[in-house]
Amino acid sequence: MPLRKLNVKELDSIVEQMIETVDKSKDEIFQIGEQCRQEHESLVTELQQIKDQVANVIEESDSLEKSSRLARRRLSEVSRNFKAYSEEQVREVYEFAHNLQTQHLMNEQLEKQLRQRRDDLERRLLGLQETIERSDFLVSQISVVSNYLVSDIKDIGLVLEDAKMKQDFGLRIIEAQEEERKRISREIHDGPAQLLANVLIRSDLAVKVHKEQGADQAFQEIRSLKEMIRGALYEVRRIIYDLRPMALDDLGLIPTLKKYLETMEDYHKNVKITFSHLGEEKRLSTKYEVALFRLIQESINNALKHAEAKEIKVKLEFRNEIVTAIIRDNGVGFDPEVKKHQSFGLIGMKERITILEGELAIDSVANKGTAIKIKIPLLE
C-alpha cells in the first residue's frame, strides 16, 4: 500500500511533543541524580565521623587493655598474699579489676557497632555512586536524543515531506548516531566520573597522610591529586568538543580546527600535530562545518587512541566547490578490509559522508601509518 503523505506541520507537532517529553524525562532523572549527590555528600561526612570515632575507640581500648593487664597482675599478687592485705584492700582491688574489665567489654561492643555502621555506610555510598553514574549516563543519552530532535529532525521535516523518505533517512542517522553516543556515554562514565570519584577518595587520603606522615608526604599526595584533576579537566574539555565546540558557530571551521588541534597537542605532549589549509578561507553552511569538524575530530581521536601515533598531519583544501581533508599519522596502522566489531567511529564517519554525498578513502598499512582522505562537494 502506498504511504500517505503527511503534512509538515503535523510532523513538527509530533516532534515538539517528543522534545517536550524527552526534556521532562531528562529533568526528572537529573533531579534524582542531584538528590543522590546530596545524600552521598551527607553520608561521606558521616562516614568520616564514624571512622574518627572508631579510631578513638580503638585507642581507648588499647589503653583499657593495658590497665586491665596491670589490674589483673595486681589481683594475682593480692590472691597469692591474701593474708597480707586487709579486707578493704582486697575488695578495692577486685572492684577496680572488675570495673576495668566491664569498661573494656563495653568499649569492644561500641567498636563493633561503629564498624557495622561504617560498613553499612560504605555499602550505601557504593550504591549511591552507581545510581549517580547511571543517572548521569541517562541524562547524557537523553540530551543527545533531544539535541538530535531539535537540530536534525525539525530541519529535515522542512525538506522531506514524503514520510517514507523521512523514515528511511532518519533511521539511518539514528542508527549511526546512537552507536556514536554510546561511545561518548562510556567515555563519560569511564573518564570524568571515575576521575572525580578518585579525586574525592585521594583528597581524604591526603588529609590522612598529613596527619600520620607529615606535610611532605601530604604534598606528594596533593601533587598526584593535581594531575588527576588535570586529567579530569582534559576529559571534560574533550567531551565538550565532542558535543559541539561553541567556537564553530562564532569563528568558523578553520579557527576552530586550529584551536582544537592545538589543544590536543597540548594535552598529548609526545604527539606533534600540524595543520595546513589551501584555497580561500571562507565560512560554509552549518551542516558542512559541523560535518567536517566531526570527521577530522574522529580521525584525530582514532590516531591518538588506537594508532598510538606520534605525528599527525591535517590538511584542508577548498577548490572548485569541493572541500578535501587529509589526515595522516605514523601510527601502527590497520587493515581497512578487516571489519572490527563495534567500530562506531568509522560507522559514524561513513554515514556523515554518505549524507553529504561525499567520498571517504582509507589507506593504511600495519606499522606504516594511516591516511584518511575525505572529499565533500558543496552542493549549496
What CATH number corresponds to the domain at position 185?
1.20.5
Q: What is the pLDDT of residue 311?
A: 92
- Looking at the fold, whether 49 and 121 belong to one and the same domain comes out as yes
- Residues in contact with 365: Cβ distance below 8 Å, sequence separation at least 6, in sequence order: 333
- Looking at the fold, whether 155 and 50 belong to one and the same domain comes out as yes
Question: pLDDT tens for residues 23-38?
Answer: 787 788 788 878 888 8
- Looking at the fold, whether 13 and 153 belong to one and the same domain comes out as yes
Q: What is the pLDDT of residue 103?
A: 82
Question: pLDDT tens for residues 242-301?
Answer: 666 666 777 888 888 898 888 888 888 888 999 998 988 778 888 888 888 889 988 888
Q: What is the pLDDT of residue 308?
A: 82
- Looking at the fold, whether 264 and 373 belong to one and the same domain comes out as yes
Q: How far apart are CA 76 and CA 14, in angstroms?
A: 90
Question: pLDDT tens for residues 83-135?
Answer: 676 777 777 777 877 787 788 788 888 888 888 888 888 888 888 888 888 87
CA dihedral 369, 360, 298, 242 (to 10 degrees): 170
Domain boundary among 160, 178, 199: 160
Would you call 340 exposed, middle or buried from its count of C-beta atoms within 10 A (0-12, 13-18, 19+)? exposed
| Nearest alpha carbon to residue 253 among 284, 226, 207, 212 | 284
> Sign of dihedral through CA atoms 289, 298, 367, 313?
positive
Show the cell assigned to 218.
601530604
Orientation of helix 163-188 relative to helix 344-355, angle to 10°: 150
Show the cell assigned to 335.
587493515
Show the cell assigned to 75.
589481683
- Looking at the fold, whether 40 and 100 belong to one and the same domain comes out as yes
> DSSP state, 339?
P
- Looking at the fold, whether 78 and 177 belong to one and the same domain comes out as no
218: three-class secondary structure by DSSP: helix
Q: What is the pLDDT of residue 272?
A: 92
- Looking at the fold, whether 59 and 103 belong to one and the same domain comes out as yes
Orientation of helix 8-80 relative to helix 87-148, angle to 10°: 170
Domain boundary among 190, 212, 243: 243
Q: What is the mean pLDDT of residues 133-139?
A: 80
- Looking at the fold, whether 231 and 128 belong to one and the same domain comes out as no
Q: What is the pLDDT of residue 238?
A: 67
What CATH number corresponds to the domain at position 111?
1.10.287.1490
Q: How far apart are CA 39 and CA 19, in angstroms?
A: 30
- Looking at the fold, whether 99 and 213 belong to one and the same domain comes out as no
> DSSP state, 272?
E
Question: pLDDT tens for residues 141-200?
Answer: 777 777 766 665 555 555 545 555 545 555 565 665 676 677 677 766 666 667 777 777
Which phi-psi region, left, alpha or beta, contains residue 329 (left: φ > 0; alpha: ψ -120 to 50)? beta
Q: What is the pLDDT of residue 171?
A: 59
- Looking at the fold, whether 1 and 140 belong to one and the same domain comes out as yes
Question: pLDDT tens for residues 70-79?
Answer: 777 777 777 7
Q: What is the pLDDT of residue 4?
A: 47
Supply the range of the domain harboring residue 167.
Answer: 162-243
Which is more confidently placed, 19 or 52? 52
| pTM as predicted | 0.42
Phi, psi of 333 (to 5 degrees): 70, 175
What CATH number corresponds to the domain at position 268?
3.30.565.10
Domain boundary among 100, 125, 160: 160
Domain tally, the chain: 3
Phi, psi of 325 (to 5 degrees): -120, 135
Q: How far apart are CA 173 and CA 330, in angstroms?
A: 32
| Nearest alpha carbon to residue 351 among 180, 162, 184 | 180
- Looking at the fold, whether 212 and 102 belong to one and the same domain comes out as no
With beta carbons less than 8 A apart as the criterion, state whether 205 and 157 touch: no
- Looking at the fold, whether 268 and 203 belong to one and the same domain comes out as no
Question: pLDDT tens for residues 185-233?
Answer: 776 666 666 777 777 777 777 777 777 777 777 777 777 777 777 777 7
With beta carbons less than 8 A apart as the criterion, state whether 247 and 259 touch: yes
